[in-house]
Chains A and B, each alone.
Chain A
Amino acid sequence: MSPPLPAHPFANDLVQFLGSALLMSAFAMLALRRMTSLVRIFALQGVLLTLSTLAVAILSAETHLLFSAIFTFAFKVVLLPAILFRLLNRLRIQGEVEVLVNVPSTMVLGLAIAVFSFTLAGPISELASTVSKGLIGVGLASLLLSFLMMISRRKALTQVIGFLGMENALFFSAINATYGMPMVVELGVAFDVLVGTFVFGIFFFQIRETFESLDLKHMDTTSME
C-alpha cells in the first residue's frame, strides 16, 4: 500500500457528504410512492456509490478501488436501472407503491433503526483503520433501511429494489471498513446481483401470468390447504 496522498482539505468532507447522501437516498426509497422514482433513486444510489468509491480510492491510493468504481458505474448506474426500467415498461407497472405499513410509521421506524445502527457501528469504527471509517454506521443503517423496505412493501418489484439497495449498502460498508473486498469477490457479487435481477425478471412474468398480478399476497397461500 502506497502512503496516502496528502489529503485535500475537502476530500474527507466529500466522502462524508456522499455517505450522508446515500443515507438520505435510503430514506427516500422508504418515503417515495412512485415506482419509477424508486428506480431512479436506485440509479442515484449507484452514482453516489461510484463517487464515494472513487473518492476513497483517491484518498487511500488503492488502485483496485478505481476498477471497483468502474464496475459499480457499469452495473449499478447503467445496467441494472436499464433492466428495471425495461421491466417496468414490459410489465406496464405504473402508479403507486402499495404498502403494508403506512409511510409515516415506516419513516419513524427507519429513524429508530438509523440510531440503532450508529450505536452499533461505534466500536467497529474505532477498530477500523481506513480513512472513511466513520461511515460504517451509514452503511449499516442503509442496509437495515433497505431491509425494512423489503418488509413493508407489497409488490414483488419493490422487494427486488430493496434487495439491490441492501447490496449497495453492503458494498458501501465494505469499502469504508476495509477498502473493499478482494476484486474477485466484488466481481462475483456484481454478477450474482445481475443474474439475480434477470431471474427476478423472469419470475415476474411467470408470476403475473399465473396470478395476473404482482401482488405478493397471491403467493401467501403456501401454507397447507
Chain B
Amino acid sequence: MTPFPDSLDTSLLVLLAWGMTGILGFFLLRRSEGLLGPLSLLLAAGGVVLAFSGIRGLVRGTELQRVLSGGLPGLPLHVRQDPLSSFFLLILGGAATGILLFSAGYLRSLPPPRLPAFFLRTALFLASMEGVFLADDAYIFMVFWEIMALVSYALVVTENDREEVRNAGFLYLLMAHFGSLLILVAFFVLATHEPSSLSPGLSSFTFDAMRTSAPPAGTALLVFVCTLLGFGAKAGLIPLHVWLPEAHPVAPSPASALLSGVMLKTAIYGILRVLFGLLGLDHLNYAWGVPVLLAGGLMALFGILHALVQSDPKKLLAYSSIENIGIIFLGIGLAILYLRSGHSMAGEIALAASLYHAINHAFFKSLLFMGAGTMIHATGSHDLNGMGGLLRRMPVSGGFVLVGVLCIAGLPPGNGFVSEWLLLQAALQAGSLSGTLLRSAVLLGGALLVLASALAAMGFVKFYGIGYLGLPRSEGAHNAREVSTAEKVGMAWMVGGCLLLALSPVRMLSWIDQALRPLTGSPLRENAFPAGWLWLLPLPPRGASYSPEILLGLLAFLLPLAFLLPRLFGKSSIRQSPVWGCGYGTRTFRMQDSAGSFAQPIRHFFANFFLMKRHLPEPEEKSPVFDLTVEDPHWAYLYRPLLRLFQAIATLAEKVRSGRISVYLVYSFGTLIFLLTVFRWM
C-alpha cells in the first residue's frame, strides 16, 4: 500500500471536489462575490491534481478499474482509468487550471447576479467532462455525456437576454441531441453483440463486455458510421459543424475556452474509445480510413478559410477549432488506414500526432480564447475592426497571445509545429501503401494539411496584426487597459503549457505511446527514440528528425546576430527624416488594412467555399455603402432546405390539429376502430 491514493481514486476525488465546490460556490457567491478568487483557486487546484493524476497514470501505464455501488438498482457504476483516459485527464486538468485562474479575474466583469450560476455551471461542466473520461459502461458514459451537453448549453446561453445567444444555444442543443442519439445507437449495437457468456440474458452495457464483442462486418460499419457522426456532431465534423461558430463565441470567454479547448476533445476521446477500444482495431477496415482522412483534410481547409474571413475574433477562433479538429480527424483516418494495412509504425505516428495535436490545441486555443476575451473586454467591441494597437496598451497579455498565435500557426519551435510535422511525416509514408488511389488519397490529405497550416499562419497574422498592431481603430481600443493579475497568471499557465509541449516532444510522445499501446497493440517500439530526449526521430532509422531545443538555440544565436551585424558593419550614422508621405498629409487608422480587406485575396481565390452577397453602390445613390456578407454555404444548401422541408411537413400536420377536443376524440375513436378491424379481418 502506498500512502497516496492511486490515480483513479485521486481522479474520482477531484470529480467529487469539483461538484461539491460548484454547489458550495453557488451559495457562497450569492452572499459575497469577493469569494470568487479563492473558490476559483480551489477549482484550479483540482485541475492541477487531476493533471498529475493523469501524468501518473501515463508514466506507469496502469489500468485501474472500480465498480462503485450506487446508481440504479442492478446498474452499478463502472469507472476505469487507463492510459488513454489518463491522457485526456491530463488535457482536462492542465487546460482547466489555466482557464479557472483566468476566470477568477475575468468574471469580475460578469453582472453579479449571473456569477453564482456561472460558477456552478463551470464546476459541473468540468466534473461531467471528467466523468466522460472515467466512465467504463455505456450507462454512466451517456449520463455524464448528457450532463455535459446540458451544462455546456447553460454556459453558452449565459447572456440569455440577447436573441442571437438564445438561437445559438438552441442550435447547439439540437446538434447535441442528434449526436447523442447516434452514439446511443452505436452503444446499443455493440451491446447486442456482446458474447453471451459474459452477459447471459440481458446485455450488460459495460465497456468490458463491449470490448469482447464481435460484430459482423456490416454491423461494425454501422457502429463506425454512428460513432463518427455522433461524436462528430460534438466535434464540429462538417457538415454538422454549423453550431460551433455560433455557440462558442457567444459564451463568456472562459466558457468558450473550455468548450473549444477541452469539450471538443471529449468527442475525440469518444471516437478513439469506441472505435479503437470497444469496437477494436480488428473490426475496422482500412478503406474506412480514407473518408475520415479526406473529411478531416477538407474540414481543416474549410475551417481555416472561414476563420480567415471572420472579423469577430472569437468567431475566427471557433472556425479555427474546426480546422484543428479536422487535423485530428486526418490523423485518425491515416491511423486506421495504416494500422489496418500493416504499416503499424506509420499508423502509430499518425495516431500519436492526433493526440499530440489534441493536447496542443487544448492549450493554445484556450490561451487564444482568453486573449480574445481580454481584447473584447478592453475595447468593448466584438469586431477586429474596432481594435488595433493593443500590444502597446496591453504588453503582457499581448505577449502571451503572441506565443499562442505562433504556436497555433504551426511555426517551429512551437508546439503546433511538432504535431503537424509528425502528421505530415506519417502522411509521407504513403509510398509504402499499395494502390494508386489509396496513395493519392493519403498524399492529398497531406497536401490539404500543409495548405491548411499555411492558411492558418495567414489567419493568425490577421488575428494578431489587426487586433494588436497598428493604430487603434476605435475610441475603445485607444483607451484599452492591461488585464488583471489573475488573468495574466491564467494566460501565463497556458503559455507555460505550450512551451513545455513545444520543448519536450520526446517525453510527450512516450506518454502518448503509453496511452495508445492498449488500443493499437503495437508500441512505438522500445527504441522509438533512439536519439534520446534531444532528437525526435519518429521513423527510425532514416526518417526526418527534429529537435526544438537545437532549433531554439540556433534561433537564439542567429536572431541577435541578424540584429547586431548591420549595426556593427553597416553605416554608422542613422539618418532621421520625415517619411515620404505619398501625398497624404496625415496618417489615420482608416488607412490600415481592415479585417475584411486582409482576407480579400482568400475570398477571391477560394470563392467556392463561401456564399457571398455583395452590394455595390450605384453611381447615383445618395449615401453609397459597400456591403459584403459572407456565409457558410451549408446554411443555404443543406440546413435551410431541410428547415423548409420540416416546415412543410409541420404545416401539413397542422391541418390535422384542429384544436377541438371532440375532434381529437374522433381521431382516437377512428384509430381504435381501424385497428380492431385490422386485427379481426387481416
Residues of chain A having any CB pair with chain B under 8 Å: 100, 116, 119-120, 123, 144, 147-148, 150-152, 154, 159, 216-217, 219-224
Contact = CB atoms under 8 A, between A and B. Distances in A.
A147 B665 contact: yes
A39 B658 CA distance: 30
A100 B672 CA distance: 21
Given A119-B680, A120-B680, A220 B660 contact: yes
Contacts of A223: 654, 657-659
A200 to B, nearest CB: 13
A123 B502 CA distance: 80
Contacts of A159: 661, 665
B669 A219 contact: no
B554 interface: no
Interface centre among B654, B672, B677, B680 (most CB of A within 10 A): B680
Contacts of B665: 147, 150-151, 159
Contacts of B32: none
Contacts of A152: 662
B67 interface: no
Nearest to A123: B680
Q: Which 3 A-B pairs have the closest CB atoms?
A: A223-B659, A222-B659, A220-B660
B673 interface: yes
B350 to A, nearest CB: 54
17 contacts: A120-B676, A120-B677, A123-B680, A144-B672, A147-B668, A147-B669, A147-B672, A151-B666, A216-B660, A216-B661, A216-B662, A217-B660, A219-B661, A220-B658, A220-B660, A220-B661, A223-B657
Given A216-B661, A220-B661, A223-B657, A148 B669 contact: yes
Contacts of A224: 654
A186 B654 CA distance: 39
A223 to B, nearest CB: 4
A151 B662 contact: yes
Nearest to B657: A223
Q: Which range holds the interface residue count of chain B?
A: 10 to 19
Contacts of B661: 159, 216, 219-220
A183 B657 CA distance: 39
Contacts of A144: 669, 672-673
Contacts of A116: 673
Given A144-B673, A223-B657, 13 more contacts: A120-B677, A123-B680, A147-B669, A148-B669, A151-B662, A151-B666, A154-B662, A216-B660, A216-B662, A217-B660, A220-B658, A223-B658, A224-B654
Interface in B201-249: none
Contacts of A151: 662, 665-666, 669
Interface string B646-682: 0000000010011111100110110011001100100
A220 B659 CA distance: 5
B56 to A, nearest CB: 55
Contacts of B662: 100, 151-152, 154, 216
Contacts of B676: 120
Contacts of B669: 144, 147-148, 151
Contacts of B658: 220, 223
A170 to B, nearest CB: 13
A82 B658 CA distance: 35
A123 B668 CA distance: 24
A144 B662 CA distance: 15
Contacts of B654: 223-224
Contacts of A216: 660-662
B2 to A, nearest CB: 55
A216 to B, nearest CB: 5
A154 B660 CA distance: 11
A221 B663 CA distance: 13
Contacts of A222: 659
Contacts of B668: 147
A147 B664 CA distance: 12
A147 B676 CA distance: 14
B118 to A, nearest CB: 35
Contacts of A150: 665
B359 to A, nearest CB: 50
Contacts of A120: 676-677, 680
A219 B658 CA distance: 12
B652 to A, nearest CB: 15
B634 to A, nearest CB: 30
Nearest to B676: A120
Contacts of B677: 120
A34 B676 CA distance: 32
A28 B661 CA distance: 23
Interface centre among A148, A222, A224 (most CB of B within 10 A): A222
Interface string B159-187: 00000000000000000000000000000
Contacts of B680: 119-120, 123
A57 B665 CA distance: 35
Contacts of A220: 658-661
A139 B658 CA distance: 31
Given A119-B680, A147-B665, A151-B666, A221 B659 contact: yes
Interface in B308-323: none
Contacts of B666: 151
A198 B626 CA distance: 68
Contacts of B672: 144, 147
Interface centre among B659, B662, B666 (most CB of A within 10 A): B662
A147 B654 CA distance: 25
A159 B665 CA distance: 10
A218 to B, nearest CB: 11
B656 to A, nearest CB: 11
Nearest to B660: A220
B429 to A, nearest CB: 61
Contacts of B660: 216-217, 220
Contacts of A221: 659
